[in-house]
Structure 1
Amino acid sequence: MNLSLSDIVPPLRWTAPSQVEPIASDPGLPDAWWQSLPLDRACALVGTAQVASRLTDLTSACWEHLILGDILPLLRFTDPADCLQTPGSREGVHRLFAGVLDKLLATDPADDPSAAALPEIIDRLFARLDDRQRAIARDRLYFDASQNSAQTAQRATLDELAQRFSVTRERIRQIERDLREHVLSWLAGPEAAPLNAHLSWLHTRLGSAVPADELAVAAPWHRTELATLAIPAWRFVRTLLTGYEQADGWLVAGGAEELREKTRQLFADGPRKLDEAVSLVSQLGVREDLAERWIVSVPQLRVLDGHVVPWPRGVNDKAEAVLAVAGTPLSPEEIQERIGEDHSVVGVRNQLASDERFIRLDRNKYGLRRWGGGEEYLGIREMIVREIERAGGEASVNTIVGNLTSRYEVSESSVRAYAGGPGFERTQRGWIRVAGPEQGEPYHPRKDVSMTRRSFRSRDGRWWHRVDINAEHLRGSGSPLPTGFAAHLGMAPGGQLTASTPAGDVVISWHNQPTMGSIRPVLVDYNASDGDHVFITVSDGGELLTRFLPASAAGLPSLNRALHLIGYTAPVASDAEGVRLIGARIGLPEGATREEVLERLRERGDRDILGFLA
């Protein structure tokens, strides 16, 4: 046995050595024996009772606030009722600890010569049965499809067995009950004592969760075929492991979902280093050599770069976990690569830009807002304003260029272009300030964004414009934008807005009318086709955010096709609910009537949606 006392007593691993040493030291054992000496060797030197006594003293001195099952997790299997109690009398605690150590140190079946006789003992049990009883035991009670060599083999049904033996289903069911009672009665007798001792050892060996296939190799004789049933012995042993549930390839003590939830709760506060995570999971009774495999098997957890992290379904939650482990800003491409699932870079970027947990720290780098300390990348124009405000209302263009290019991945030419554009005015040679109200007054279009065709408000209040993709977009041509939407983005005639994407900048300029440059790289990423849709907007940080929506299916009901055009694809309970959603997306207040929704659509010019609602 290679286990030390600290391997089976988790508190020993996190209690300060200065607290443990005076209590656990023993003249018959080496220094720090609880870490360095195999447990069986320690017990051989001073006796199991003495080792249990040292553990009892530690419990009284250091861990009286813990339940016994957290101090010695093996108690969860040997004494499930007592394991939930806090330490009581010294004698009672010592008795429990000594009992566990005795069972743990009992002869390993792999080393016990008498273990080889166990298959013969089991065969004697089934030799007393007739052929029909043995067939029911083999093909139904002890059948395991996952381990059956015949890929098409199935556990025999009551009907199949009834037909095979020309009896009723109820007779087969009665034989099953009789077989179970026969086995239970036998287990209570003296002949089964060696097997019961093995089962007690096996509970200790398996712990609270173990891969199901490990049962077959837990002892050499488990793979021995029972002559009476023509099945490996472990299949019979499996049915005797009371309290274990088989789920997703694991044998789990108690309920599998309960243990999974307890495991997830260990990491609810964020990432843990893997070695620390293994130690925590072992406190739930999972063997340390299996803890990482168990963690990997638990839904909504993941091992990432040497850490265990919560791994919910949302891409934004996964991005948070990736950044928390990295501890340094990453690009959307790097985050998407580390997530390693079917999430597009565009989707990751959209979540980073819209979720308050994240902060944009450079042109293409994001971090976690809770880190603090870093200045947010706001877009070049906004950062020029920030530099001017810091300088007291007026700043040198050269100084602004130097500050921004040294902190962020922006070019000198871009900074100078923005500094010379709308919103700023020159005060003296090489110096600028924010334009006054008469120069910087916002442009008021004839129709605001809520009255603009193909512009829709999402639940977070952000307005998006729907671009209906055609051959010109796919070829790389620019396309016009409605003035109401362009003004919503803060633009005015004569102005220009540069929005960043992973494939490069997209320039929106306003001369005779607002025009957006090519978005072909974005469409290529989406594998878009003629007739599909992409919804666009620009974040406060100057990123072009996009949401892709394939063309609706031809057979879709009219209401759903109308909803599709506003970017809503989920089912709706009624026609009224669908109309309500459309009203909310076009800026109408809650409670707007169907007539008001239709009238607003007419005023906006959304004839395609009107056509589906008519």
Structure 2
Amino acid sequence: MVTSTQPQFAVVDVETTGFGKHDRIVEVAVVHVDATGSITKSWSTLINPNRDIPNAWVHGIKAADVANAPTFEEIASALAHELDGRIFVAHNAAFDARMVRQEFERAGIRGLNLIDNYLCTMLITGRVYRSSGRSLESALACAGLSNDWPHSALGDAMATAALLGHYIATRNVRLNGVQPVEALRALGASLPVAAPVPRGEGITKPGAWVRDLASGVPFKGFPNVDSYLELLERAMLDRVLTTSEINQLKESARELGIGQEEAREIHVNFVRQLGLLAWADGVVTDDERRELESVAESLAVEQDVVREVLQGPLAPKPPTPPKSPQPSESSAPKQTVESSDSPQTPLADQPDTWLGNFALKAGDRVTFTGAMELPRATWETRAQEAGLTVGGVTKKSKLLVAADPESRSGKARKAIEVGVPIVNEATFARLLGEMEAADHATSVQVDAVSSLQANLYEDGGEGASFYEEPEDSTYSDDDAPAAVVLAEFFAQADAREQLVLQERFAAVKPRTLDQLGQKLGLTRERVRQIEKGVLKRLRKQAKEGPIAELIEAIRAQAYPVGTLQQIVDSHPELDEQVEWWGAPLWLILDRLDDSFLVEKGWVCFPDLKTAAARTAELLQRHTNEEGVARLGELETELEPALLTEWLRQCGYQVLQGHVLTRVGSLPARAAGILSIRGVPMSVGEIFKAVGQGRTERSFRNALAATDELMRTSTEEWALRRWGLEEYTSLKGAIGVRVQRAVDAGEPGVPLADLLAELPGKFGVAESSVRLYSSEGDFELADGLVIPRVSENVNNGTPEESDRMYLRDGRWQLLLTVTSEHLRGSGCPVPSGLTAMLGVRYGEPFELPSELGPQKVYWSTMHTLGSIKRFCDALGLQPGDRAWVDVHEGQRFEVRRASGLTGATGLAGVAEYVGASPEGTEPELEARIAVALGLRADAPRRKILARFRHRGAGEVVDVLEGLWV
């Protein structure tokens, strides 16, 4: 019977958006396992990460699947109850524990004891099945188990739970101090609670949402369905209804009083209109047929309507109200409803009633979000080449292109908020194609007219423009907006000048003179003359009036620097397309005025480089020794948010109200961060604040390469100018205090004083203080640490040294190769090895070998010099084992040792000491005893005692389980 004192386990698996610290959990499962290895309960839920899911192909979870799922904050309380009081278990538990801990911290729940406090079945697999892979699939195969639902949180958690049960049954689970999770204690304040949504639940059938609309809504006259239709047109732009679009339609219907019956009638008419579009070219393709059927299903329109539409084009029916008393004529909008008996309208004459034709045109603003099939940079380039503007989501945006239209990225949420349509890549590609086709048709017309005009010019005289004056130009010269003035100027130019203005002046990527000359059939110099003449007249026009006033307003608002978006928000007309030019007003004014330049979204005087240089001069007057300036002390009229954005654009780091100007090297950044904080910081804290670099190891090395910084403890660094005590080593810190005592006439310093001061000040262990105080340059005398007067004595013996075994009549060291060995680092060895060689303290000892001299050291630590060359010669890899044989001080040799096969019991202990695992129990006991330097028939208590003296706890556990 399982008692409350026996361990209980919570086996966890998570599916995520990725592996980084900014990634989120999209599914979590917990399976309860008792002390016998039996599964007692399972729990799982999808989680809405409120961001895009770029790796849906890994786990099969798409944005649509989690649209109605709870957020982590909403299930945090439930998850805490599932974990509380249980040992956290996972396969690769370090990852699952980190992701769960991060999510709890984002929800404001801290103190969850999951840092290095878990049981990992991957690590157990590595110990039990040493020759197997470490994946869950490989571990299950070795245990004779399977996974019925891989790459789902519940499936993987159930499989891991079964694997845990297998390890419990084979007595391979060792908790080694792992404590139950204290989740409820960390939970603290109450959180919102939502029901879990396991995978596969919460997804409704397409079109079922219409049933959620009110039924039998009292008729109150013709409902104003325009806004609902407009919303429906945008939502169905890519012929797919996302969850957010459905929610918007439902909300619109509720506000307008549209019930189920009215909505169905509106949807039927919408499907009929789509059918008319499909018949526009006289043929309905299979793709169009499937698309129409899908749209009908999404809108809960019966397929009979689709079949009727597909029989042939019929006249469209505008939305009609349900039967009810007719409203007064004055209150009803004018609508014509054709009877079903009326003659069919010819296709060419059919009205395009309320469906609308969505199209992109040059200057429209589009935004991209998510990890797309084509690189985002490719889409942005294609969009810009087509004349579109690429930027963030604003009220003036035309379109948001999303890798997954169900995405809940920040851009997607903003688009939904301001009513910007969201489409996928395929739809955007279609819209681009339609745009390019329209541009091609226009280009052919311009080319034809330009050619005609060019011939006329050659025949004598400047031809008239083929553009007519705007019909709605009713402004006087004094009050006409700048865009109208520019449109009129364009209309009054001749055909060649108009083409020059479009292709050389207003284009995002202007054509060269040679390209334009080839298009017009003129020489390069002739095109230059035309350009010079028309620009001269244009600049004269811009010296006064509305154009000059608008340019002056831009200068005033953007000096010395500003964002294009900021200025467009103040002067919305700047973002409008100027008729015939094919460019937004701000671009034309930017090209007109040389005193400022719009570059990378900034309006700079006179350009980005010069504005950045002026900023550097301003900062230089306010920086301290570490190149740090306070934001509040900078003399500028820029608002704080804009100033911060601009400083980052210039390459500076803005942190906690300060600017770091010395950002060319990692040590310089570190010095700036320390200057801001004002107190010593750990390497990890500085590394995180720097926000860039290589690895923490290389970052640590970089800090040591500058005299500006110094170490004040094993982990903390400070500015040298602060005058704090520098920490070089524990030996050095003890030496300073001993010397200080000697200089004061004392024999030494009390060990108790060192133990009270050094661990807290330098972050060292008490055991290390004791060790260094009695070895090397110091010794203990009556509780005082004094300069050493007696010789250092090495009391180690091979018999009592872990990893040293008797082999071929000689004591040899059994090493497990690590990446440090292969990198060329030295490695610690038992004191018994240096004692056996007679190595003296502080005097390097050298042994000959076939690959050159090999050094052994004793200086507080007992160390072997690099053995990389021996490992390379033998082809050793991390995890391989090797014998280090010093041949009783005659020569040095490294040989490959047999690997671990995963044997258990006595056979496993025999493998551990480098002996063969084959044979009877007496034979195995004899081999183990001899390897330890005992007689072959040594009693078991002596074998156990020797392993205890060596500190081989795992082996002692095994032998006690067998013998005691």
Q: TM-score scaled to structure 1, two decimals?
A: 0.50
When normalised by structure 2's length, the TM-score is 0.33
The structure with the largest helix share of the pair is: 1
Flag the structure with more relative contact order, 1 or 2, with Cα contacts below 8 A and sequence separation at least 6: 1
